C-alpha cells in the first residue's frame, strides 16, 4: 500500500526547505488530525477522596488560602499530565478552606462550579450575595463575577472545583483581575437569588437574560427530592437511571453556558453501556459501586471523583442505589452541533 508518510530523500529535503518558511505538509499528519472517531489522550481515571483529603490537609500546613489565592490541588488526567486538565476541555481541582480562612475576591472570564464534598456552613460570595454551602450543593461562579470564599465554621470545608479553563485558553479569551480586598461588598440578602428564581417564579421586571442561571446555589436537598419524585413517577432510563440536568430558569438551557451539570440516581440493577462525545467528570454523592469505562474498572464511594473520556463506553454497576453528580462540556458541543451519543452496545 502507498504510504503517504514515507520519507524519501527528495521529500525530506522538501519538508526541510518549507519548514524554514513555516509550512508543513498536510498529508503526513492528516490521519492524526481527522480521526474516524474520537482519539483522546484523556484516560479513564479515579481519585479517591481519602487520598485527596490527606494531601489537602498537608497542603493546609504549607500555605494559607490567602497566600495561595486559592488553595487547590489540581486533578490532572494521567494522559494529560502537566496541562492542568481533567479532560481535554475541562479543569478539576479540590479546594480546602480551613476555619477562619478567606480566599480573597477576584474575577475572571473562566466560569466555575463548586460541588461541596465535606463540611457545612462555609460561604462563597458571588455578585454581592453570600451563599452558605452544604454537602452536595452545586454552586455557580459565572464568568467575570467577583467571588470570594470564607469559612466561619470550626471544621475544614472541601469542594470540587470545575472550570472551563482549557476551553477559554484555546480561544485565547482569558482576562482576570483581583479586587484588592479580601471580601466583596454584600448588597443582597443570602438566599435572595434562589428565592426569586428557584421556584418557577421571577421578578416581573427582571432584566436578567440568558447565558448563565441567576440561581447560583442549587441546594442538594432539592436535587435529592426531585430525583426521588422522578423515581416514584417513572421507570429508570436504561443508560442513566433517573438523571436530571441543572437548568437555567431564564431559558431552560444548561445552568452554565460552557459546562453541563447533571445529577443522577442509579438503580441497583445498574445501567447499560452508554457513550457520548462529552468527556464527563463524576463524583459520587451517596452510595458506592463500580463503573466499567472501556477496559478500565473504577471502584467508587462517596466523594470519589472519576472521569469518563469522550466516546468510551461506560457501564455503572452500583452496589446499592447511588447518586452521582457530573459535569462536561456538553453545552458547547450542542451549540456547535458536535454532540453525539450512542446507547447500548452497538
Ligand atoms: C478559581 O478562581 C477558584 O475561585 C478555584 O475558588 C480554582 C482554578 C483556576 C483558576 C481560577 C475559586 C481556580 C480558580
Mutate to test the pocket of ligand 1, among 161, 182, 259 (most ligand atoms within 8 A of CB): 161
Tell me, in angstroms, the distance from the centre of ligand 1 to residue 14's CA: 47
Q: Say what the pLDDT of residue 209 is.
A: 73
Q: In what order do the strands lie in the sheet with 274-276?
A: 296-300, 289-293, 314-318, 274-276, 341-343
pLDDT tens by residue, 63-122: 999 999 999 999 999 999 999 999 999 999 999 999 999 999 999 999 999 999 999 999
φ, ψ of residue 14 to 5 degrees: the values are: -65, -45
Which residue, among 162, 134, 164, 158, has the nearest Cα to 303 in the 3D structure?
158
User: Is residue 1 predicted with pLDDT exceeding 70?
Assistant: no
Q: Whose alpha carbon is nearest atom 3 of ligand 1?
A: 70
Task: Assign 340 to helix, strand or coil.
Answer: coil
pLDDT tens by residue, 207-260: 877 689 999 999 999 999 999 999 999 999 999 999 999 999 999 999 999 999
pLDDT tens by residue, 50-80: 999 999 999 999 999 999 999 999 999 999 9
Mean pLDDT of 306-319: 98
Mean pLDDT of 166-171: 98
Q: What is the DSSP letter of 190?
A: T
CB–CB of 194/217 below 8 Å? Answer: yes
CA distance 116 to 214: 19
Mean pLDDT of 327-340: 98
Largest Cα–Cα distance in the chain? 74
φ, ψ of residue 154 to 5 degrees: the values are: -105, 20
Report the pocket of ligand 1 as residue ranges, CB < 6 Å: 70, 72, 93, 95, 103, 110, 112, 147, 149, 161, 163, 165
User: Is residue 2 predicted with pLDDT exceeding 80?
Assistant: no
Q: What is the percent of the chain where pLDDT is above 90?
A: 96
| Ramachandran class of 14: left when φ > 0, alpha when ψ lies in -120 to 50, beta otherwise | alpha
CA distance 335 to 337: 6
Atom number of ligand 1 nearest to Cα 74: 8
Interior angle at CA 34, CA 33 and CA 40, nearest 5: 70
Amino acid at each position: 500500500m502507498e504510504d503517504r508518510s514515507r520519507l524519501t530523500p527528495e521529500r525530506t529535503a522538501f519538508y526541510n526547505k518549507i519548514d524554514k518558511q513555516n509550512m508543513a505538509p498536510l498529508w503526513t499528519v492528516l490521519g492524526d488530525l481527522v480521526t474516524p472517531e474520537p482519539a483522546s489522550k484523556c484516560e479513564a481515571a479515579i481519585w479517591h477522596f481519602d487520598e485527596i483529603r490527606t494531601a489537602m490537609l498537608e497542603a493546609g500546613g504549607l500555605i494559607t488560602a490567602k497566600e495561595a489565592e486559592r488553595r487547590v490541588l489540581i486533578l490532572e488526567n494521567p494522559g494529560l499530565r502537566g496541562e492542568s486538565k481533567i479532560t481535554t476541555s475541562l479543569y478539576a481541582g479540590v479546594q480546602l478552606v480551613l476555619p477562619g480562612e478567606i480566599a480573597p475576591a477576584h474575577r475572571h472570564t473562566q466560569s466555575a462550579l463548586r460541588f461541596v464534598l465535606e463540611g457545612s456552613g462555609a460561604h462563597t460570595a458571588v455578585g454581592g450575595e453570600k451563599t452558605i454551602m452544604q454537602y452536595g450543593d452545586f454552586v455557580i461562579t459565572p464568568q467575570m463575577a467577583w467571588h470570594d470564599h470564607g469559612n466561619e465554621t470550626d471544621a475544614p470545608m472541601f469542594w470540587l472545583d470545575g472550570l472551563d479553563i482549557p476551553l477559554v485558553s484555546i480561544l485565547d479569551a482569558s482576562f482576570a483581575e483581583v479586587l484588592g480586598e479580601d471580601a466583596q461588598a454584600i448588597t443582597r440578602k443570602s438566599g435572595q437569588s434562589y428565592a426569586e428564581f428557584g421556584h418557577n417564579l421571577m421578578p416581573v421586571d427582571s432584566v436578567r437574560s440568558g447565558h448563565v442561571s441567576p440561581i447560583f446555589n442549587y441546594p442538594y436537598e432539592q436535587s435529592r427530592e426531585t430525583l426521588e419524585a422522578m423515581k416514584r413517577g417513572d421507570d429508570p432510563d436504561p443508560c442513566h437511571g433517573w438523571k436530571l440536568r441543572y437548568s437555567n430558569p431564564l431559558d431552560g438551557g444548561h445552568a452554565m453556558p460552557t459546562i453541563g451539570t447533571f445529577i443522577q440516581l442509579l438503580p441497583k440493577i445498574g445501567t447499560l453501556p452508554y457513550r457520548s462525545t462529552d468527556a464527563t467528570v463524576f463524583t459520587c454523592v451517596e452510595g458506592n459501586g463500580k463503573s466499567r469505562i472501556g477496559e478500565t474498572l473504577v471502584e467508587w464511594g462517596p466523594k470519589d471523583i472519576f472521569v469518563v473520556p469522550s466516546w468510551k463506553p461506560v457501564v455503572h454497576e452500583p452496589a446499592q442505589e447511588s447518586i452521582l453528580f457530573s459535569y462536561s462540556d456538553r453545552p458547547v458541543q450542542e451549540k456547535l452541533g458536535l454532540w453525539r451519543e450512542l446507547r447500548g452496545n452497538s
